[in-house]
Amino acid sequence: MNREDFKILYTGLIYFDNAATALKPYILSETISDYYNYYSANAHRGNYDLSLKSSKMYEKTRLLVKEFINAQKEKEIIFTSGTTDSINKIVFGYFKHHLKKDDEVLLSKSEHASNVLPWFMLSKEIGFKIKYIPLNENHEITLESLKKMLNNKTKVIALAHITNVVGDIRPLAEIIEIAHKNNILVLVDGAQSVAHMPVDVQKLDIDFLAFSAHKMSGPTGVGVLYGKENLLKETTPIILGGGMSAEFNTKGEVIYKDLPDLLEAGTPNIAGVIGFGETIKYLNNIGMDKIRIYEQELKQYLIKRLKEIKKVKIYNEKANSSIVTINYEGISPYDLALYLNKYNICVRAGNHCAKILKEELNINNTCRISLYFYNTKKEVDYLIETLKNIEVFDF
Ligand SMILES: Cc1ncc(COP(=O)(O)O)c(C=O)c1O
């Protein structure tokens, strides 16, 4: 779908590394370049036309994001530099002030480093315990395994909506319902989901959601932290500076602004945020439901065709996302990625920042093929033919 909007695809490139970052439609760079060329004033800091325009465009994106994830209020949308930044802002801005030594935080072993390392550091500081919800034979968490982990010390469940190696989609609605019945807050890492399926924060009753614009064909350096207003109000800013205070004096007294300014100190990535607004309009025009259905069909086709190659081991056939993780018998995933690169095919080799998952998969590294709406069956066919010809490649 919409391939003509991606100039990079005109070169014949086959891009299957969408879980790392997605390609950008030309409208993104045009929007960003318009900002830099015609109204590159600071936002929220000037009362002249140029600055007012830049503020207006910046805030327009906030409204678009609010509608995109169906948040209740615009002030629940905080612009950050990405998922990593959003999670850190919540772990150190909210949970640092709400967790105690005897509390427990639940993660899984398939979480990305961004949803593990902040917890490690805070746990060292406060002393709370981190526990891992066990994974089943398909490397998924189940509601039963989750329920077994709960006790009256459990205060947070922090999980990816879609994991970035196994690609399983977590049953968020059920997880959150169980959590809330037990007075547990849920932080959702939406880095791999918001780009690929409709995510409705009110319907799912998500407490905190983090995601990155660059994985949804938007700019790098822009992300979103969504939080319910009452929770964000109790979040202490971990970055302090311009734009977030109404008053301060030499006695050190500060009157802070309300949300969202409170959590957006300093000049933000104005161009990126404005570009992100255009990305959201672009995705809305295609339709997130349509994207989800298209990717599902393409993913099934990819699996079917990969199965023609005996030496290919698929680790996550049952996963419901557009991520397919494989290895090719006798060839390291790094060599495989290099081989495919020779044929203009981009895939990702490695542990994909989910460094504790290898304990579960019993394998250090894999090759990840991750799809997006502009990928096609023809590209999958080319990948399969290239993999079938691998014997003649000299490693
Ligand atoms: C599941 C998951 N969480 C978090 C991240 C971190 O995203 P970012 O690097 O945009 O902050 C990624 C990136 O690959 C991811 O896949």
353 is catalytic: yes
**CA 393 – ligand 1 centroid, Å:** 33
**CA 113 – ligand 1 centroid, Å:** 8
Token output for 236? 């202490």
Asked if residue 234 lies in contact with residue 259, where contact means CB atoms within 8 angstroms, the answer is no
Question: Which of 112, 325, 372 maximizes ligand 1 atoms within 8 Å of its Cβ, making it the mutation to test the pocket?
Answer: 112
Q: What is the DSSP secondary-structure string of 154-165? A: EEEEEEESB-SS
In whole angstroms, what is the distance from residue 210 CA to residue 163 CA? Answer: 13
Higher pLDDT, 352 or 152: 152
Q: Which residues line ligand 1 (CB under 6 A)?
A: 82-84, 112, 114-115, 160, 164, 189, 191-192, 212, 353
Asked if residue 294 has pLDDT above 80, the reply is yes
Residue nearest to atom 16 of ligand 1 (CA): 164
Ligand 1 atom with least separation from CA of 353: 14
**CA 149 – ligand 1 centroid, Å:** 25
**CA 66 – ligand 1 centroid, Å:** 21
**Among 1.20.1560.10, 3.10.20.810, 3.30.1540.20, 3.90.1150.10, what is the CATH number of 3-24+287-388?**
3.90.1150.10
283 strand-pairing partners: none
H/E segment holding residue 346: strand 345-346
Return the sign of the alpha-carbon dihedral for residues 258, 264, 270, 273: negative
Ligand 1 atom with least separation from CA of 189: 3
pLDDT in tens, 300-326: 999 999 999 999 999 999 898 999 999
Asked if residue 319 lies in contact with residue 164, where contact means CB atoms within 8 angstroms, the answer is no
Q: Which fold has domain 27-285?
A: Aspartate Aminotransferase; domain 2 (3.40.640)
pLDDT in tens, 44-97: 888 899 999 999 999 999 999 999 999 999 999 999 999 999 999 999 999 999
φ, ψ for residue 217, nearest 5 deg: 65, 20
Asked if residue 361 has pLDDT above 90, the reply is no
Domain ranges, ordered by start, for the chain: 3-24+287-388, 27-285
Q: What is the pLDDT of residue 353?
A: 64
> pTM of the entire structure?
0.96
Q: Which of 353, 355, 386, 393 is an active site residue?
A: 353
